[in-house]
Structure 1
């Protein structure tokens, strides 16, 4: 394995050297300096621009750090001027200076003078600060700021408060991954790699603002608790063609690769765009389970080791067009889809005995599962700007269809402790076709009432139907494979949701308030068409319920460096379609998983008090209470001496948390970000008996903490390096005790060809330390689970952007957020 990584690093060094040879189009000089206020103290987080002296063209832009220091790298030889601006101060500019290749130029200290009261009043009204806090979001105003010059969208996003981007381009908000990224209020539905490619090829001059929403308002679907980052782009009026191509080679235990191609073309009032991507991957997962099963007369000990090898291939596409039918109206269409075949090869050995570590025999199960995931989705959208005051109407129509297939073969052989086969093999096979159709329609309307208040309203309707058909067969030895009536099932689930919302925004002098209310009416029906359920009443689960989801956001600016805020919202998480499916999936006859059609949605009330210092350091105190919390549990069936995984609604989860996120700049070449969270999470619920909750006995919680420290280094003038450490302490989650997890990631990157091309080498979990060790304590049993996924993977990625990089496709938000509850393969 070590020789493989040596080859990758050697190959990367050759490519990076070649990139350096091609980097002559970029400058090699550096310009630095210090900015102070009228009292001689550092002016932190002020905007500084580097201008050509002959025509005052902005070449680069940046922010000063905590010490008032700014730095420009990659500067070409020439004559320049540095200009500094800050809200409440007059502009300041340096004298003209010359730069030669390879030199480091230190600009004399620039001092900002406070504007007079009359000028200050004009400045505050006419100019927005770079970072401003609104009622339900933090906004980074990029348009007309020098920060946009010479930077990509990804580079600007990395400077946004509370946002971190790791070496693999995964975006986190206050330490939490799974952040929803929107462009122009439209969901991207792109993978992390695809999104990174898009953002790195987006010129900063095309961005208007970046909005950071940690607790979404009533305007957004009530489902989910993840934050939102919304990147607003300026309207594109340029014509031409652009695109990018990206290729990655990776090596864990096996080789992996993926490639993608993106093209955009704008001609007149028509914009056509498309993305194609493909990839292959193979990985391993080792699982160990030690457990005991006790009935009224005896105790049985199991020690199980499983090696799982997963191979998959994916093909994704996304094509569409936008047509400007008038000065204020844009009509768009998007078609997307994927085809992801997958194969799982599993080898499982289970030792069985009546005494601890003394086994009477063992069984071996070999299973092969061939699966395919197919999807087609269509979106028709319209954006109508009703007037110049901000009144607008947006509408979306969506249709998505998913066709998933799974064919599994399970062969189990039985042996005594002498290794001699002592029973007829058990042969099973399953065929599981499933289809999911999602339809949705939504409309959003915004009406400014005056300069300080606005009203928003909207409606949405969605309809979902899932049809799952499990055909189970067992080998009878005399008749071949015959139907197994105890496992064969067909499950049809339908769901309809109608929603409407109102939002009211009001801006006072130093305080802003937003209040909203969203109503959602849900009607669902789960029908076990065939199966072994003896009680016909339990074959159908029919539910209808109306929910109200209020939200409130208050933000107050104390002074230029201190802001406080409070927000509250109520949200819902509905069970995934996979968890509702009652089918049984085997690892062996003593280990399986099973869905639960009786799952109810969970409801969360969240409260958050936050404090921001200097537009950079964020401290948040939060509390949330979730009722009917959807939780995975591992149970035992004494009659079958089997252990199975399922999902139940536990009664209450309480979560108290304190989060600190702060960037830091130790030296001119060493910067980073620290995100630390301490939380106390507790659960209260009934005991689990026969897969249901009985009288209350679960009352457990634990103080836990996690941290993420990222360090960014500028190595010479050509390379950037990142090292990130992650740590999660032990914690309690429902009936699980999860042991600590930790890892260290690293990477090095190089941009060349005038930033049109880049090469990145990275390794996740460098020391191969990350693993999952869990103890399950349901039903009074201790089940020890040890899982080691393939976490150490080396990746080499090349990206090239071509054409007119100032052309940007209008992104679309499909209305089908329900598709997030559909499994799509790995």
Structure 2
């Protein structure tokens, strides 16, 4: 890959040199902005807007209006121009303007319905797959072939700079600790439960992904590596519409999913709803080789595990809005899921005193039956106080999770020749858990003028998790309670927060400064052993954003933010979850929150080529480690606070158009992660004494190509390569895969058929080396990644209906709930 890296470096140097030359010769230029509305006064979104020279109608700049109908052109020289707006089904909008020495605000352009159908001309404005905006990267997956039939998790894996590891932990630019939001609302889920939710979210219901590496003070301070916001499809106009999607998929096992979306708006009322269900059976194979030193000798283990998961999901989301006045809208959203899950694991562990020379083995058969239930309710009110943008919004949220798991562990012992050795061990667990989340938040926007704005708000959250582990062991007289494993853990957390955000636009520069304060009170109570961990702390989280337009082709920006990551509820839970008696996972109630200071510089050339450099420093970094218990000869996974992590990343995003029928995008992310463990003394609640001081440079390259074969037939291909990287005590070997798909529309684009295959060559695997206490643990994992999908989508009703984009205030807490 060295030649590829060299080409990227040369390209960056050329772009930077060209930009500097243009900057020296630039003259004074201003910004032209405005907005479009339709005949009902609603925003005319994604219309094609062009800036023409008045003298000869030559196009100076062009673009699309956003979801609010707004558009802008930066770096415009003085002169006479014409704003031209076009939109399918509407008459052309034309407005002459004169540009002088100050920024120009164009009067609102009203788009009127066309009086007749244009049969000879078909104007289609297509949003690019990847867009770079001032504070975020947007992946427009709504019409992507590769999104059809995929889950939200599978779509996330294709996003720039995003990767998902063997345990479904999501990383951005190599860093874990990503906060995931849905429609600007925190999910309050931990990595495991978030993975369940994302795998049960139909990709056909997703409009776009927003990747925000450095969020402002308006957002919750959680998430050291940023926020990924999943925007679901929405509607706005009067009438009724919907779509029905069905997908059949085949890997090693058959999968299927269906979803139905309905929207209706009549007068002041609008209603919307989405139902989705699916079945997902998949296989996961793991091999682990390790050695455990003892007082007199070393014991060697070779472990092979076949996991067969049979997942089913049933999700719903319904809501309504009522426009009490033209400026005040009251709404509610109710959502939830019921996801039963079954797992059958067959684990064989060979044991010996020499490498590859084994004297015995044990076979553990595990049967796990789980159900995950969630109900969430949101009431929201948005008041637009005046036309200048003064607004007040209030959200009240309640969410409850009920997770139940019943597990049976049967272990049989054998000599190497296959004869029984010892009495089988029979264990079983029941682990019911409930999580209650209550939040309230209010946001106020106060514009002083067209260029100056103040935002402030407050939020309060109250979370309680109740986890019970009921463990039994088999005896000749039946199952009895196992007091060494049975436990009860209750965790409560209250967070009060407030923020202040100030923004100002100048001729070529815009600035934004903010600060957020969060006061946290938490209590972890391990009831059975009478262990209590109390914490109370107040933190301030400043943020700053500066963007400057050098000239009409060059823009540069800088941003900074301080953030916090509180331990997930599962990581705090000290319960033990077994693969077998030598391999298990255990939480750590002594975990502290981690804090991150992030800096980012970004450069944009010609509004589409983006280069970003970022640096962050994290203290008390929450890190997954592998611990060896030399007494029990066991290896288990837990989470500890290491001293610090330093992260450097460089991202280059280049969209390209070779011909009218071939376009795409190249995204390159290079990063370095360095960790320090501080010292080699054991931490509270741990027998770990590992030492770490170092890191490794790595990179990720993702490319997409779209081929428009005809107006209704297109093909898409995506490649992904991630080099070897170091994360804490883990060395993750290179990963790569190739995806492809075809899409064909019928019946005036109301019917769409998509065929896609993920990981066509079945190359994606997780190979990890974990170094722990001078031991090396070699892990090989292969999930079922090659899957073919056939998706049918039928759209019916008025295609322009859109419901209000609902947001809640409970997403940060949901993001920390886990499945176990």
Once residues 502 and 777 of structure 1 are traced to their aligned partners in structure 2, the CA distance between those partners, rounded to angstroms, is 45
Per the TM alignment, residue 258 of structure 1 is displaced from its structure 2 partner at its CA by 0.5
**Does 1:591 pair with 2:583?**
yes
- Listed one character per residue, the Cα deviations across residues 111-131 of structure 1 (whole Å, up to 9, x for unaligned) are xxxx99x822399513499xx
The residue correspondences of 1:602-613 to structure 2 (distance < 5 A) are 602-613=594-605
How many aligned positions are there? 706
Q: Is the 8 A contact 1:243 1:264 kept in 2?
A: yes
Q: How does 1:366-765 map to 2 (within 5 A)?
A: 366-477=365-476, 479-531=477-529, 536=530, 539-685=531-677, 686-687=679-680, 689=682, 692=686, 697-765=691-759
1:424 match: secondary structure: coil
Q: Which residue of 2 aligns with 1:6?
A: none
- 2:763 aligns with 769
On the 8 A contact 2:205/2:232 being kept in 1, the answer is no
Q: 1:155 offset after TM fit, Å? A: 3.7
User: Equivalences for 1:32-71 in 2 at 5 Å?
Assistant: 61=48
* TM-score normalised by structure 1 residue count: 0.79
Alignment counterpart, residue 815 of structure 2, candidates 785, 809, 820? 820
Among residues 168, 179, 189, which one is paired with 2:146 in the alignment? 168
Q: Which residue of 2 aligns with 1:40?
A: none
Offset, 1:661: 0.5
Map 1:180-329 onto structure 2 (within 5 A).
Answer: 197-198=204-205, 213-224=212-223, 225-227=225-227, 236=236, 238-329=237-328
Q: Does 1:119 align with 2:98?
A: yes
Check conservation: 1:188, 1:812, Cα contact below 8 A: no
Q: CA 1:688–1:753 in 2, change beyond 3 Å: closer, same or farther?
A: farther
- Cα deviation for residue 219 of structure 1 reads 0.5
Q: How far did 1:692 drift?
A: 3.6
- Give the structure with higher Rg (CA): 1
Which ranges in structure 2 are unaligned for 5 or more consecutive residues?
1-31, 34-43, 52-57, 63-72, 85-94, 115-121, 148-154, 164-169, 171-177, 189-196
Change (3 A) 1:151 1:277: farther
Report the 3-state secondary structure (helix = DSSP H, G, I; strand = E; otherwise coil) of the residue aligned with 2:794. Answer: strand
Q: CA deviation at 1:366?
A: 0.3
Q: How does 1:22-101 map to 2 (within 5 A)?
A: 61=48
The structure with higher relative contact order (CA 8 Å, sep 6+) is 2
8 A Cα contact 1:187 1:812, kept in partner: no
Change (3 A) 1:342 1:181: closer
Q: Secondary structure at the match of 2:570?
A: helix
512 and 280 in structure 1: CA distance in 2 versus 1, 3 angstrom threshold: same
Aligned twin of 1:103: none
Q: Which moved more, 1:662-671 or 1:317-326?
A: 662-671
- C-alpha separation in 2, matches of 1:284 and 1:816: 34
- Residues 397/298 of structure 1: CA separation in 2 closer, same or farther (3 Å cut): same
Kindly state the Cα deviation for residue 226 of structure 1 after the two structures are TM-superposed: 3.0
Q: What is the CA distance between 1:632 and its match in structure 2?
A: 1.0
Corresponding residue of 1:332: 331
Cα distance 1:175–1:128, how it changes in 2: closer, same or farther (>3 A)?
A: farther
Q: After superposition, where does 1:135-150 map in structure 2 within 5 Å?
A: none
1:214, distance to aligned residue in structure 2 (A): 3.9
Q: Counterpart of 1:530 in 2: which secondary structure? A: helix
Gaps of 5+ in 1: 1-45, 48-56, 72-83, 95-114, 130-140, 203-209
CA distance in 2, matches of 1:401, 1:671: 45
Partner Cα distance (1:571, 1:505) in 2: 20
Superposed counterparts of 1:103-118, under 5 Å: none
Q: CA deviation at 1:212?
A: 7.4
Deviation at 1:63, TM superposition (A): 8.7
Tell me how far apart the structure 2 counterparts of residues 325 and 441 of structure 1 sit (CA, whole Å).
22
**What SS does the aligned partner of 1:821 have?**
coil
Cα distance, 1:751 vs structure 2: 2.0
* Counterparts of 2:330 and 2:417, CA distance in 1: 73
Q: Residues of 2 paired with 1:434 and 1:699: CA distance?
A: 38
Residue 573 of structure 1 and its aligned partner are, at CA, apart by 1.2
Q: Is the 8 A contact 2:268 2:322 kept in 1?
A: yes
TM-score, with structure 2 as normaliser? 0.80
Residue 331 of structure 1 aligns to a residue whose secondary structure is: strand
> Any idea what SS the aligned residue of 1:579 has?
helix
Give the superposition deviation at 1:805: 1.6
Structure 2 distance, partners of 1:573, 1:682, is 18
Aligned to 2:421, the other structure's residue is in SS state strand
Q: 1:228 to 1:507 in 2, by over 3 A?
A: farther
Check conservation: 2:202, 2:276, Cα contact below 8 A.
no
Q: What are the Cα deviations for residues 400-454 of structure 1, in whole angstroms up to 9, with x where unaligned?
A: 0111000000000000011101111000000010000000000001111223211
Answer yes or no: is the 8 Å Cα contact 1:687–1:693 preserved in 2: no
Distance (whole Å) between structure 2 residues aligned to residue 234 and residue 716 of structure 1: 28
Sort the Cα spacing of 1:695 and 1:754 in 2 relative to 1 into closer, same or farther, 3 A. Answer: same
Q: How far is the alpha carbon of 1:176 from its aligned partner?
A: 3.1
CA distance in 2, matches of 1:195, 1:182: 16
The SS at the match of 1:413 is: strand
Q: How far 1:663 moved relative to its partner?
A: 0.4
1:688–1:779: 8 Å Cα contact kept in structure 2? no
When structure 1 is superposed on structure 2, of 575-584 and 336-345 the one drifting more is 575-584
1:228 deviation in Å?
5.5
Cα pair distance change 1:624/1:86, threshold 3 Å: closer
- Counterpart check, 1:784 vs 2:778: yes
Q: 1:689 to 1:85 in 2, by over 3 A?
A: closer
**Aligned-partner Cα distance in 1 for 2:520–2:544:** 23
Measured against aligned partners, the alpha-carbon deviations of 1:294-352 in whole angstroms (never above 9, x if no partner) come to 01111100000000000011111111111111121100011111100000000000000
